[in-house]
Chains A and B, each alone.
Chain A
Amino acid sequence: MAADLPSEFDVIVLGTGMPESIFAAACSRIGQTVLHIDRNDHYSGDWSSFSLNGIQKWVEQQKISCGDDLELSQTDEASILKEGEYLLKMPLKAHNFKDIKIKFHIEDKEEVPTKQEFHAQEKVDLCFSEEKGNPEVESGRKDEANEKQLENIGVDPLPVDTNINNNASQTSNETQLQDFSRDENQSQSPTDQKLSSDKETENPTEAPYTSVSVDDSDKRTMEGNAISSCEAQLEIENKEDMSSANENEKKCKNWSPSEIQKEWRKFNLDLSPKVLYCAGDMVELLITSDIAKYCEFKTVTRVLTLLNGKLEKVPCSRADVFSSKLVSMLEKRMLMKFLTFCMDYEKQPEEYLEYLGKPFSEFLASKKLSENIKHFVQHSISMTTDKDTTDEGLRKTKKFLQSLSRYGNTAFLWALYGSGELPQSFCRMCAVFGGVYCLHFTASQIILNKEGRCQGIITTAGQRIDCKWLVMESSYSPKEFVSPTNSRYISRAILLTDRPLLPTDSQELSMLCLPCPDDPYRPIHVLELPPGSMAAPQGIYVFHLTRLAGDHASVDDDLSFAVKALFKETEDDDKPKVLWSLYFRQNYTSQVERCASVPENVFLMPGPGPEIDADAPVHVAKDLFHKLYPGEEFLPKAPNPEDIIYIDNSEASASGTNQSDFKEQSDDTGKTQDLDASKLQSNEVVYAEPSSNDQSAESNDQSGIVIGSSVEIKENAEQNIVDK
């Protein structure tokens, strides 16, 4: 299918992770031709979010030792290469993950298995023996180290898990019908509706402090964390007594593996979960480029901390500070004063000058803050360790505070359906402007010329494709290109549980930074995702644990502090019970330093790092873009087709003004490239900037540009092109 690609592009990008996707979109946006490739059969690479089946499949794929799943065509080098050119082999598969352990922590209920299930089981076994015929898969499984690991923690060997998985998907046809009818009943009854939104409401009296602006139509179903009007609050109070009756019943279901597996579609499990600072560069970019409209976001409703063995909500905003029972009156003053200083710390350098370059904790100590307050500021607000300098601590604290008031009482956002949606939204932007996409496909070799400059690639389909610039995620590159020294690992766990961290709030999206006794310099970051974030079906909560890997510890050792502190250990504590877990280690290259051997027109991009947020890839992509295209605008606002509303039979008044808009538009995109007619069409003639002096916008109270008879506009605009 991918054999007939065009033979030349301005830019070839390998990998559809975050920085690559942002970069690809930026290039495409200014009219560069972009080929964007991923060797995986899914978008977003190591930044991806998966369904439950998807992540189980991913685990299996990680075991396949090289890119055998990619078919590789033979190439006749002599016929493809020009004089003086030579080839450099590329790896077909990355080895970014290791120590992968996947496991259900619960067993199927001991009900008599239905006939149907038995049947499926047999079939699955069959599938497996077939699969074992494949030597690669088998050797992967027989890998000694692998088996030892599994034994060590008493993990079921993988095939069992996969059994369940297939089992469920095979029986799902029958069961689905029931499911649907049940769901429908639920959702069609207005009382149920009320109840469920009510249950999501935490504490009605706190509601007014949080203020996420929502769309009108949503108001009826808003959750507690999104109340922005008194009316809504009233509604919630009215419903309050109804909720308690349902509370117990709903609280935590007794899940079995097959029940969880049956809901596999409803999971969105992130390999690299990233929150967004509300005032951070990613959010800024999403807005300025107008890509925000492709995605939806939830607020991280609270920051938690473990204080003297107890989980507490960190007071962040002024409202929190005043209402918090954790801080005394004296401490309130202290904290307020300190945070107010941090907002404008640059203006008072005398306060911190002598601590520049010294640890932030020393600076905090000098401020005579109480232990509690120091703990909040260091671990929850700035999320720094004792190694971080005062400059860094102040910068992070300020960023947090600036982010606080933008979308309500929260500093962070979470992308609905997982952060794997973000690279995809940039890919879509790239495709809309003509970027060509190929998945499950990659470059097998780089073509270099006499001077060592990259001329293009040979694809796994054996085709030569030339390019001016070659940009790749670093694990795509030949070994010679990366220095091994700065490669480190991150320990990760994804846990599914039956209830939230704190019993009362079912829809809180929480963050928690846990300093660990074994090495305080490497805290564990915990992210709690409720079903409302679309990470899991109703009744299941997703926890992401992230920590820089220790040198000698295993992934379990790295994360055990958090697992012990937060999750159920004995039957009678009421902490969340872990139902399913996936542990793994992820390689990352902190800084991709350029080795001398990297051709000057080849650039490497880092994979996901240990940061909790997604601002780093924005910088990486932006820096490279400005380097390659000095003077060009980085992802300017796209002409917004959403502002074009088509209305049947309305007057065609808009046409005149839109022409000029279009001219501007084409001038913009034409800077770097000849405008051929098809390109122009691709940039959609009907686009028009709503901000421009547009009579139609004034004469009509419809949003944006209203196009009465768009046909005419199109014609005019097309003429416009021809005139040029």
Chain B
Amino acid sequence: MNTKEFKEKINEKLNDEIQKKNLTKFYEDYPKARQKAFEGYDFEQLRNSVKNIKQNTVDKLEELADKFQKAVEKNGAVFYRAVSDKDVVDYILKLCKEKDVKLVVKSKSMLSEEVELAQHFKEAGIESQETDLGEWIIQIAKHKPSHMVMPAIHLNRQQVADYFEKQLGKNMKPDIEFLVHTARAELREKCLKADLGISGCNIAVAENGAMFILTNEGNGRLTSSLPKTHIVLVGYEKLVESFEDAIPILRILPRNATAQTLTSYVNIILGPSQAIVEHTDGTFSIEKKELHVILVDHGRIEMARDPIFKELYQCIRCSACTNVCPVYALVGGHVFGNIYTGGIGALLNAFIGSSQTANQIQNLCITCGSCTQVCSGSIDIPNLIIEMRKKNIEKEGLPTIPKVVFQNIISNRSLFHNMLKLARLGQKSFKNGQFIRNLPLYFSKYTKDRSLPAIADVPFRDIFDTILQKPAKNQEKIAFFSGCLIDFVYPETGEAVVKSLNALGFSVEFPKDQTCCGTPMYLTGDKESAKKVAMQNLEALESIDPDYIVIACPTGVEMWEKYPQFFRDDPKYLQLAQKYKNRIREYSSFVDEQLNKQNIKLNSLKNNGIATYHDSCHLKRVLGIHTQPRDIIAKAFNTNFVEMEHADQCCGMAGSYSLKFPEISKELGDQKHKSIIKSTANLVYVGCPACMLQIKGLIDKKGGNVKVMHIAQLVNEALKENK
């Protein structure tokens, strides 16, 4: 799919009212239900066990595979290792031929989707029938699954009724119970007649060959029981070493997937059991079943050997990540994914699925971090997505425009800063021109749904020297690292940061040689340019050697914390990067700590009106800072501090993302705007300049008597009369 087609698909999905309704409802319901399901369990401890179990699997992959094979064979099943998708298909088709199979029933298996088994059956003239209701619906609708656990979540009852009508040639009413019972009768017939059953497997135990199959519908039991022959498809990532390793997975998987304690059925298969065989004379006999177990590689071994992406083995396909993903909620799994859906889908597809679409899908991630918080295997999905982008750039190079900007402009500080200053002079005439559009802060289509901020007349770096600071009470020296947005777009925020820190008794310095933190380059995968600016920043700071580096921008904090990664082979810079990593302080948490420690009271700002707070994705989920800014606001506004709905949902600003997918960014923005208006606040505080840019623009374009400010502005104002 080329970019244009992909964009068209995005637009189509954004306008798919049915899918949107279903997904929005789910997105709203899921977190509460999930939380309830985990009551009485320590989620962090559970997922830590899962992580350890799967890391052990990766470390001993070959050993466990061998053990599993031995155990399965000892249990009396036929074992086969498939390297490629073709191996899987060939083996199954050959077996079908030997057994003269006419009808196959399948219970849910992502692996069978991955190797496109249904397509191959069709070509071979073998009837294959999905028995999971959702899978069957999409089978007859000829769709791909749009969700890993609920494959037909994009459809409503009317659509399902229409598909059933077409398939069965009977009249259907759009009544869910009726549709389910129609499916029961239809699928039961097929299960009774089938010669072969195929199922996936959720957990495969190396030490005894046990295979766990979790289903709610009970189709797993029927497909494994009724036909004489049964094939289980097992991906390497399903292996665990010991029988007890299944316990944490049983505890976490159903809770995270569908907020259930346990699926209605868990089948543990330990070998071929019995089958009933009916004879033509009307008699029947009980015979031994034939059980085949196929252990499938198809990119999984390469994945295990990759030092970074082996983390993907920690995925147990619970889809919790997808359920909380704001981008998924907007566009669904046909755009954001391909068989494997959501951010994890983008990653898995690069190894075990369709790698061509994987790149496009990755770009959809706004790296908001919601998924990582709920992931059963503690996978840092956004981080892996950034790693994947890096990998792609190493392979294919950057697209031309960012390349020019990153490698020639931003990584050259004086050129970059001069250009920004020039941009201010020329912003009227340049606003729609190439020049501004190519700067990381200025996005071509960005102006359509929110106003573009103007570059400030005087950047913060030129204002800093004019700020009069009181003599410091504290010995500790603070350096302020502003980042581009505060420096060139919101200098008043910079001013507030410096003045408020000074009011707290610190002297603040602003090393002038500091430059862009490197985030725009890092996010698009251009590590070299990011490294270059990191070196400049480290040198700039080293000239002052401060006790703290205060940053009022969460992505800036994150970037600084990553600096050591860039210099693994460069001891000089590595030492610097590590030294300063420990001295980084995020503004709002630092201020909150100081207020409490020094027992300083904020003046009441109640007369300013009603205040609310928007959680920046990075501030809340990556840095874990969300109580501190609230504490500060409450200190100044008391009962006039109100929470908006979904305060921690992404505002739609995600750096250059807004350039690539302005449509999605717009939807998220619309939702944020609604919550703000509904909250009745006239002041919105944020802890992140990028969110400020987005929300200011939203208010400006869509209306509302609301002022958007950085929390530093609050602190500064509330400390003023304290002097």
- Is A bound to B? no
Binding site for A on B (CB under 8 A): none
Binding site for B on A (CB under 8 A): none
